Structure 1
Amino acid sequence: MRLSFTLISGRAVGALLLVLALLRPGAASATHIVGGEMELQHRTGSLYTLTLNLYFDAVNGNAGALDQQMPASIFDKATQRRMLDVVLPLVSNTFVQYTNPACTQPTLSTRKLVYSRDVTLDAATYASASGYYASVERCCRNLGIRNIVNPGGAAQTFYLEFPAVVRGGQPFLDSTPRIFPPLGDYACRGELFYYDFGGQDADGDSLAYDLVTPLNGHTTANNPGPITPQAAPYSTVIWATGLSAQNQIPGTPALGIDARTGRLTVRPSQLGLFVFGVRCSEYRRGVKIGETRRDFQLYVLSCSVNAAPSVQLFPTASARAYQPGRDTLRLRPGTDHCLQVRFTDPDPSSQLTVTAQPVNFTSGSPGPTFTTATSGTVRAAGAPDTLTATLCFPGCQDTQGKVYLLDLIVADNGCSLPKRDTVRLAFTAEPAPNTPPVLTSSFPLPAVPETTPRIVRLPVGSGYAATLTGTDADGDALVLSATGRGFNLPAAGMSFGAQNGSGRATGTFRWQASCEAAQLGRLLVDFRLAESAACDAQPQLLTVQFEVVPTTDSVSFRPPNIITPNGDGINDVFALPTLPPDYCGAQFAGIRIFSRWGNEVYHSPDRSFQWQGSGIAGTYFYLITYTDGRRYKGWLEVAP
């Protein structure tokens, strides 16, 4: 169900929001915010959807702080002028999932609250070259956060920037990045933690990531939810001693983010709850056009030691393991294209999974695939201590002289996140060579270069036959076929039969030109020669155009131009036995004869007509018509 709301402004907005703030229970002592971010997505025309994702502590958060709506505002970046106040209703309330549900901790549970509604950003209003920003302010963060000062009184300003909706007099459409997914996991002290905070951009803009100090803003524990957000600047949270934007979660390494991918990494050295801030900047043609921020928390626990799995590669029939960085696997025609992947884990009852991930090439099709199971349990009762899987490359794999890199990754099911081991395989591959097949035929050669189809023209009732031959120097199996473009061959009086085989295929095409074929118009037939080459199959195509033409061309029509109706039996009447013949739907319609003054003196619908003159010598003119619109004109002298 889609809810519809009406924008209101001015004192009405203020009054409504004041009532909502007063009705919100527990607002003054609300500590619940895990983090969140905003989005602005273009829909159509001037219509956009403004969304706030707020992450709520479902364990320690004050239930009374679960707002049913949140006030948001849009401001001009250059002037700080308030452009729009809008109330965002709660449209979704779900739990954030763990990467591994088996690692669930009762002390960590997060809700994702989504507040959203449509807004109109018209070009006449939102045209400032400096752009705009949207914000929502709310207090307070969790009391247990240990890397900032006074966490129970610290607020969050949810913030995004977006460009003008018109640039250079033309619409400038943009949807802000969507950061995904939210963090449901915890980290273990002394263990490497990683998570993907990368985003998606509907417009294909470039995204860059960095760590920033979370915004606090204007709200406080005594005023946790303002009637409307205030304009920038927004104050930031205060880091605990020794911490900063570049050292938000202490560790070796400290919290960091990949500027290109948005991947978070940290090996935390302290237990507790830590807040951090990420900025995702959006660029189009090298120019920054907007940004969105996400604040979030990471819970660091003391975990049981989880040993990392390990993986090795063995070329088939080789007892020596592949050595990354030293060996290169060379796949040549006629050699074995399979590898054995062996993976294990020192922990008991570990569930392992192995995957293959291309590094400097796209997997495409065909690509390397596993031909056996890729997961299983090790070191459990009745289970082996080492698992094996077979990875095979297609015989047609072609690296085109380059060295391709493929990561073989084994992951366990440990908590909080899987531990992994990776072997990077370097390989080259050459496909089996293939000579293209050759297709010849008895069809007439085109009058112009081969880019033009060959043409066969037949009169109605005539027959035609042609032969085709395909040969292949490699002896590959060949198949000849014929297909009409937009019509079935039998409907046009055509047939094709082929004798296919290895290295050679022959075919016979026959056509009986008919009025049915004439009604179909120009007929294009594609003759294909397909080969069953293992690699780089190169089918051949020959296109022939067939046309039905009249039995006798009008050029041969030569009517007499004088008659002598004197009764001597010689040239007494005007008749046209050599009239162009009727042609399928093109029939003789009639003849009309006129005097030199334009008066009609004779007409007949019969193609075997005979006119004996009008009894008056002189010059006459005739008009012959056919049902397809053809017209023949001429003159006739009637002698005395």
Structure 2
Amino acid sequence: MKKWLYVTVMLLPVLAQARHIIGGELTMRSLGRPGYFRVQMDQYWNEVYSNSQNNDATITLFIYQRRGPTLIESITLPLLTSTPIIYANAACAQSQSLKTLKGTYYKDIQFDVADYGDSEGYYMVWERCCRDNAITNLANATDIGMLFYLEFPAMQRNGAAFTNSSPVFGQPNGEYICINKPTAFAYTATDADGDQLRYSLVTPYQGYTTATEVYGRSTPRANYPLVTWGTGIAADRAISGNPALQINPNTGQLTVRANKAGYYLFGVQCDEFRNGQRIGSIRRDFVLPVIDCNLTPLPIPVIQAAGATATELNICPGTSATLTADANPQWAYQWRLDGSNIDGANSPTLAVQKTGSYTVLRSLAGRCANDTLSQPFLVKQLPLPAVTADSVPTVCASHDALPLVGQPLSGTWTGAGVANNQFDPAQAGVGLHKLVYTAKGANGCTNTTTRWADVSPPITLSGPVLYRIQRGSTGQLIQTPSVASATVLWSPALYLDDPGSTTPLCSPVDSQTYTVRAEALGGCTANASVTVLVVDRLYIPSAFSPNGDGQNDVWRLQNTESFPDCDVRVFNRWGELVYQCAGLPNEPWDGTYRQIPVEAGTYTYLIRTEADRPALRGSVTVLR
């Protein structure tokens, strides 16, 4: 479905007339989501007549549906910026009191898409009075209004969002036209959607405003009045000459050889087409002076690069080149890129990085003279060479240096730990490191590619290396790697429930020595040796009779040889230590304390077989 938008802009009720406005246009740019647009108006002001009273602080847009037409809503835009327009020939611009400002009003607005589904589309309009009374090519320029106009399609079609941004005219240069001098300037627009653009010269709108009603109303209008041309003037010959003002319908290039001085109004319309269907339109009004330069032109400047005259230059991406024009302190310069003045580019030399068509305009520095423009100098960009590099594997900090491979082979590597096209992880250190491979192609351009080297920390194993497990019992072995993600393998797997665990259970039949290997990302490894001793159960007698009859005269523990660190302690009922034996050989208790026989009775023992194992507690009876 096709939907057009008409927006009329109404300003605050200050009855200052707008004779300072020499041109402008409306645009709207999609900001991504359905119905979200930046609506913008650019005005061009004659700075000589511009002031705080006639520069409106806000403008109000009225939005209409073409079918009817019907008012949809109004929008208020604030004035946000004002910037000067560059005149290439500053001396002549000054002599003619030519100073131009660009005033920009805009606001980001979320429209209700449901309100914009009519296939006939919508339009915007801005009305204001009055134009400059000095305009030459109108039948009567006194108190003539102006109207800026934009059309756009529906925001949804067949129930789905329809995305479209209006075309956008490029910013004009500060221009004037010399009588009988062939003149060309670009009114080219760009379109964010890639739609086809067509240009035409049109008669500007006058609208309904007057000297006493300087702002437009919200009343829907079926049509708007056009300005009335003077004798012999029309849209396609708004500036008389041989030839008169013309436009290239495909490029927007304006050309004219004016034959009469004056102050000329003209209009340019840019229509956008998608799939052969016209979906939108913008218009720009503008006023240009035609003056009698009547001066001998300066020599045409010649652009050189690297000291040689040329018409084009190839540069590598990311590099710059210097263009020069023959210098003279009496001359002034203004460089242009693709027809637009470059801000601040006013010396005989220009450093260029962007591609495009460069020209330089030469004028006199101290007084107005007929300026001259160089032939175009084309700056092209060479392709970057194809540069590839092998990936760098994750590597352990203790690993040997790795070779780095890139194509073409003539390149070099740089980065932490890099020397002679090798990467030394020990020198780089633990962490993620950026490695850059740089190579130059046959065309002299340099390109780079980046690889990342991840250096893992060294790995260690921690845990006991000796275990004693009683025969017929099961014990847990522990070896913990310093890197949590590391894998562990016990070898041999004999008597283990899970040889890939950091805490396997071991049920040994006989003593065994295991090799434990841990491996982390990057090839970091660690090894440990763990010994498991199978020991017999410690036998602890429950009583003895130290009476000298040769039968059970001592309290002797059996199988203590399996526990070389065994510590045995016996206490009386008052908690006094009456017997202690630590280590091997384990001496039996003869039932004495300080060589005096202890009383018959029950005594408590505490036996610690290993420092990291629970103590054995119980009692032994001394019989007399």
TM-score by length of 2: 0.57
Show the 5 A alignment for 1:342-381: 358=312, 363-365=315-317, 369-370=321-322, 375-377=327-329
Q: Which secondary structure state, in structure 1, belongs to the residue aligned with residue 91 of structure 2? A: helix
Q: Note closer, same or farther for the CA distance 1:508–1:612 as it changes in structure 2 (3 Å cut).
A: farther
Deviation at 1:279, TM superposition (A): 1.1
Deviation at 1:73, TM superposition (A): 0.9
User: Identity over the aligned pairs, expressed in percent?
Assistant: 28
Deviation at 1:309, TM superposition (A): 2.1
User: Which amino acid in structure 2 is aligned with residue 120 of structure 1?
Assistant: Q
Of 140, 161, 183, the match for 2:151: 161
Q: Note closer, same or farther for the CA distance 1:207–1:575 as it changes in structure 2 (3 Å cut).
A: farther
CA distance in 1, matches of 2:318, 2:73: 53
- Contact 1:71–1:228 (Cα < 8 Å) also in 2: no
Give 1:227's aligned residue: 217
Give 1:412's aligned residue: 362
Q: Give deviations 1:363-391, integer Å, cap 9, x for gaps.
A: 544889448775334799xxxxxxxx999
Give 1:101's aligned residue: 90
Of 151, 173, 176, the match for 2:141: 151
CA distance in 1, matches of 2:303, 2:515: 86
CA distance in 1, matches of 2:140, 2:106: 30
Give 2:467's aligned residue: none
Of 334, 340, 346, the match for 2:308: 340
Give 2:560's aligned residue: none
Are 2:64 and 1:75 aligned? yes
Unpaired runs of 5+ in structure 2? 1-7, 333-347, 462-486, 497-506, 540-624
CA distance in 2, matches of 1:267, 1:557: 99
Are 2:260 and 1:270 aligned? yes
Show the 5 A alignment for 1:534-545: 535=444
Of 504, 509, 532, the match for 1:608: 532
Q: Which secondary structure state, in structure 2, belongs to the residue aligned with residue 137 of structure 1? A: strand
Deviation at 1:269, TM superposition (A): 0.6
Show the 5 A alignment for 1:190-229: 190-203=180-193, 205-221=195-211, 223-228=213-218
Q: Note closer, same or farther for the CA distance 1:99–1:532 as it changes in structure 2 (3 Å cut).
A: closer
Are 2:513 and 1:577 aligned? yes
Q: Which secondary structure state, in structure 2, belongs to the residue aligned with residue 124 of structure 1? A: helix
Which piece of structure 1 moves more, 192-201 or 369-378?
369-378
Show the 5 A alignment for 1:517-556: 535=444, 554=489
- Larger Rg, first or second structure (1 or 2): 2
User: Which amino acid in structure 2 is aligned with residue 141 of structure 1?
Assistant: R
Of 108, 130, 133, the match for 1:140: 130
Q: Note closer, same or farther for the CA distance 1:139–1:65 as it changes in structure 2 (3 Å cut).
A: same
Unpaired runs of 5+ in structure 1? 1-13, 315-336, 342-355, 381-388, 392-404, 438-449, 490-495, 499-506, 562-570, 590-605, 616-640
User: Which amino acid in structure 1 is aligned with residue 181 of structure 2?
Assistant: E
Give 1:249's aligned residue: 239
CA distance in 2, matches of 1:171, 1:510: 56
CA distance in 2, matches of 1:411, 1:213: 31
Q: Note closer, same or farther for the CA distance 1:575–1:32 as it changes in structure 2 (3 Å cut).
A: same
User: Which amino acid in structure 1 is aligned with residue 155 of structure 2?
Assistant: V
Show the 5 A alignment for 1:414-493: 418-422=371-375, 489=417
CA distance in 2, matches of 1:123, 1:71: 20
CA distance in 2, matches of 1:134, 1:407: 35
Q: Give deviations 1:263-318, integer Å, cap 9, x for gaps.
A: 3221101111111001122345654432211111111111232325246799xxxx
CA distance in 2, matches of 1:579, 1:66: 88
Q: Give deviations 1:520-559, integer Å, cap 9, x for gaps.
A: 8xx9998979689884789999999999999999596251
Give 1:636's aligned residue: none
User: Which amino acid in structure 2 is aligned with residue 608 of structure 1?
Assistant: V
- Contact 2:301–2:326 (Cα < 8 Å) also in 1: no
Give 1:594's aligned residue: none
Give 1:602's aligned residue: none
- Contact 1:132–1:164 (Cα < 8 Å) also in 2: yes
Q: Give deviations 1:230-280, integer Å, cap 9, x for gaps.
A: 434222222223222211111122112333443322110111111100112
Give 1:84's aligned residue: 73
**RMSD after superposition:** 5.7
Give 1:122's aligned residue: 112
Give 2:502's aligned residue: none
- Contact 1:588–1:607 (Cα < 8 Å) also in 2: no
Q: Which secondary structure state, in structure 2, belongs to the residue aligned with residue 242 of structure 1? A: coil
User: Which amino acid in structure 1 is aligned with residue 363 of structure 2?
Assistant: N
- Contact 1:357–1:406 (Cα < 8 Å) also in 2: no
- Contact 2:362–2:371 (Cα < 8 Å) also in 1: yes
Deviation at 1:188, TM superposition (A): 1.5
- Contact 2:389–2:406 (Cα < 8 Å) also in 1: no
User: Which amino acid in structure 2 is aligned with residue 418 of structure 1?
Assistant: D
Deviation at 1:208, TM superposition (A): 3.4
Q: Give deviations 1:114-138, integer Å, cap 9, x for gaps.
A: 4444543111112223321111112
CA distance in 2, matches of 1:65, 1:471: 65
CA distance in 1, matches of 2:328, 2:135: 39
Q: Note closer, same or farther for the CA distance 1:169–1:264 as it changes in structure 2 (3 Å cut).
A: same
How many pairs does the alignment contain? Answer: 465
Give 1:319's aligned residue: none
Give 2:494's aligned residue: 559
Deviation at 1:413, TM superposition (A): 1.2
CA distance in 1, matches of 2:270, 2:37: 20
Of 232, 249, 258, the match for 1:259: 249
Q: Note closer, same or farther for the CA distance 1:239–1:44 as it changes in structure 2 (3 Å cut).
A: same
Q: Which secondary structure state, in structure 2, belongs to the residue aligned with residue 375 of structure 1? A: coil
CA distance in 1, matches of 2:438, 2:32: 49
